């Protein structure tokens, strides 16, 4: 991170490190916390709930970075500090309603889909202005920036145009949404490129916790 910031001529305090702990046990989070890490990302509402108890009383900032289904929005508001994967006004309306009832303020990032892969979640860039204007009616939510996951490629340089595109989209919308400052982009294999392209938060799983093993169905 330091090297990439240096290359890009950016102060390293401009980039936060999020530890992505999906599939890893609560012990792995505790170990990371002992090393000074407080910002984490999880993909699933239920998975985070199973770990939460083990971390009770700890200072942890947990963001949701995976797709959010409408039947999980209440739990999501209750258990996450922020939602970094918002991609529809319909889900936003549900989040607002729970956030209002809990009197909780919830920062959100909008996940933008910049490739044509069918498996990727996220909002089409064309729909961004209308989502941002819709969010202005929701006082308990604040759109703080954009998030994206580019298509996987062996060569991290292939991700550069996607990162540049996300930054341009943010810049285009800053005039009407001045709080839209964050860019969550970059993962274990391409975070250096993302930092060079303006990332303010990199999401690192494998490079911190090792390979993930998914249970076989």
Which stretches of the chain bind ligand PLP, using CB under 6 A?
Answer: 20, 22, 43, 65-66, 149, 187-188, 203-207
Cβ-contact 19, 51 below 8 angstroms: no
Q: Which residue is nearest to ligand PLP (CB)?
A: 205
Q: Rank residues 113 and 140 by Cβ distance to ligand PLP and give the closer one.
A: 113
Q: Rank residues 138 and 184 by Cβ distance to ligand PLP and give the closer one.
A: 184
Q: Which two tokens stand for residue 171?
A: 């810049």
- CB 110 → ligand PLP: shortest distance, Å? 13
DSSP state of 85: E
- CB 18 → ligand PLP: shortest distance, Å? 8
DSSP state of 21: -
DSSP state of 123: B
Q: Rank residues 142 and 188 by Cβ distance to ligand PLP and give the closer one.
A: 188
- CB 147 → ligand PLP: shortest distance, Å? 8
Residues sharing a CB contact under 8 Å with residue 29, sequence separation 6 or more, in sequence order: 19, 21, 40, 51, 54, 55, 60
Nearest in space to 40 (alpha carbons), one of 170, 203, 181: 203
Nearest in space to 162 (alpha carbons), one of 205, 119, 196, 207: 196
- CB 137 → ligand PLP: shortest distance, Å? 27
- CB 16 → ligand PLP: shortest distance, Å? 13
Cβ-contact 55, 30 below 8 angstroms: yes
Q: Rank residues 138 and 200 by Cβ distance to ligand PLP and give the closer one.
A: 200
- CB 168 → ligand PLP: shortest distance, Å? 21
CA-based angle 130:141:165, to the nearest 5?
50
DSSP assignment of 55-123 equals: GTTS--EEEE-S---GGGHHHHHHH-SEEEEE--HHHHHHHHHHHHHHT--EEEEEEB--S--TT---B
């Amino acid at each position: 991170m330091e090297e990439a910031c240096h290359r890009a001529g950016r102060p390293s305090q401009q980039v936060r490190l999020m530890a992505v702990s999906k599939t890893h046990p609560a012990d792995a989070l505790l170990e990371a916390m002992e090393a000074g890490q407080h910002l984490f990302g999880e993909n699933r509402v239920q998975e985070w709930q199973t770990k939460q108890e083990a971390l009770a009383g700890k200072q942890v900032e947990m963001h949701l970075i995976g797709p959010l289904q409408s039947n999980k929005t209440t739990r999501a508001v209750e258990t996450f500090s922020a939602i970094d994967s918002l991609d529809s006004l319909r889900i936003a309306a549900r989040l607002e309603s729970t956030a209002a009832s809990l009197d909780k303020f919830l920062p959100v990032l909008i996940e933008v889909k910049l490739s044509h892969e069918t498996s990727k979640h996220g909002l089409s860039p064309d729909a961004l202005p209308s989502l941002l204007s819709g969010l202005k009616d929701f006082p308990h939510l604040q759109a703080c920036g954009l998030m994206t996951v580019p298509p996987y490629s062996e060569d991290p340089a292939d991700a550069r145009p996607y990162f540049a595109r996300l930054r341009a989209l943010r810049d285009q919308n800053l005039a009407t949404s001045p709080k839209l400052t964050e860019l969550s982009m970059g993962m274990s294999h391409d975070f250096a490129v993302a930092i060079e392209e303006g990332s303010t938060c990199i999401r690192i799983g494998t490079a911190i916790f090792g390979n993930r093993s998914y249970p076989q169905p």
